[in-house]
A = this chain, B = another copy of it.
Amino acid sequence: MENFNFHVATDIRFGKDRLSELPEVINTFGKNVLLVYGGGSIKQNGLYDKVRHALQAATVVELAGVEPNPRIETVTKGAALCREHHIDVILAVGGGSVIDCSKAIAGGAYVEGDLWENLVLKRQYNGPAIPIVTILTLAATGSEMNRGGVISNMQTQQKLGMGGKNLLPKVSFLDPTNTFTVNAYQTAAGSADIFSHLMENYFNATPGTDVQDGVAEGLMKTVIHHLPIALKEPENYDARANLMWASTLALNGLTGSGKTGTWSCHAMEHELSAFYDITHGIGLAILTPRWMAHILNETTVPKFARFAKEVWGIQEENPEQAARKGIQALYDFFLENGVPMTLPEVGIDTEKDFDQMAQQAIAHSTISKAAFVPLQKEDVIQIYQASQTPSTFI
């Protein structure tokens, strides 16, 4: 296990009927609130009205329409609003996109000049930031309890992660009932995102990390158990609650601390989203089993066999067979839960950008050097290619 810091001070308010706590929470930080949200689903399901009601005593400026892959233009607009209206606190009501966007705004308000150049491209931001409070509406990214975010620039076809210690949300309201209206596709995509965070941390070369891996296995099993229930019964509270809390813990440092190395599938997926604006979680679900099969070798097989046994309960003596069965189980799980498992199904029906996307995946990350198994451009292209048609792994 490597040395690490773990200091995740977000005040989590988990459960239903807790919006009465919002005024006091907001008041801790000030009166001027930037309310950030997405495409209006919170207006349809009534959450918007409840939040506005709870904010009666505050001065509220709105930034609506944050994109599913939040764009730098929206960040720039939000940062300008913060400066213009002397915003004291940002209230992000939405999923990871809204919260990620709010993080970039929170720091961006203090950054001069072009925010793509001076904030996102720097990747690490250690300056001051406006405090963020979140009300989560999608179990997926974990952004509600971590320091990072991902911002897209459609002009340059770049989608880049950034983060900073002051971007950690101060308070996050996690009410599972706010995810009752999330449709089946987005629910599955969110769970694929959770699963991918766990997998990216799990398949890592640092030895002696059983705490992190045991926690990850427990969270994976939780997703495997509860996603089908949530799809069948969208208002099943316990299913939504388990997915929500799993999403938060999957990426708050618990399963990644004490490990070194970079993530593989996220680097490859960010290029799919940057070029084709597809749903992040779906892209991850498509790439992950192909990536696993691509990197399965003598060195990696023990971890794959452990994954098969501990996560899927596969009783198989031969490590390579166990590994393949585990990959198949993951692929089938996504498939059975309605995830389109090939690139053409999400509109990527040509290889024409594979070369450039692979090049950028290498350029924007350290996967060619620091991944669980380092990936070169040719590897990435092969993984994209393998994702074009249905697969079997056994």
A interface residues, Cβ below 8 angstroms from B: 1-18, 176, 207-211, 213-219, 221-222, 225-226, 237-239, 241-242, 245-246, 249, 254, 257-258, 310, 315
Contacts and interface: CB of A to CB of B under 8 A. Distances in A.
Given A226-B210, A241-B208, A14 B3 contact: yes
A222 B14 CA distance: 27
Contacts of A226: 210
A315 B315 CA distance: 10
B218 A245 contact: no
B1 A241 contact: yes
A176 B1 CA distance: 10
A238 B208 contact: yes
B1 A11 contact: no
A111 to B, nearest CB: 26
A5 B13 contact: yes
Contacts of A9: 7, 9
A207 B236 CA distance: 13
Give the 4 A-B residue pairs with the shortest CB-CB distance, closest first. A214-B218, A3-B15, A208-B238, A9-B9
Contacts of A16: 3
24 contacts: A1-B237, A1-B238, A1-B241, A1-B245, A5-B11, A6-B12, A7-B11, A8-B8, A9-B9, A14-B257, A208-B238, A208-B241, A209-B242, A210-B221, A210-B226, A210-B242, A211-B222, A214-B217, A214-B219, A214-B222, A217-B217, A217-B218, A218-B218, A245-B258
Given A218-B217, A241-B208, A10 B7 contact: yes
Contact of A218 (B2, B8, B215, B237): B215
B14 A211 contact: no
Q: Among the interface residues A3, A207, A211, A217, which one has the most CB atoms of the partner chain B within 10 A?
A: A211
A208 B176 CA distance: 13
A211 B11 contact: no
A311 to B, nearest CB: 10
A237 B208 CA distance: 9
Nearest to A174: B6
A209 to B, nearest CB: 8
Contacts of A11: 5, 7
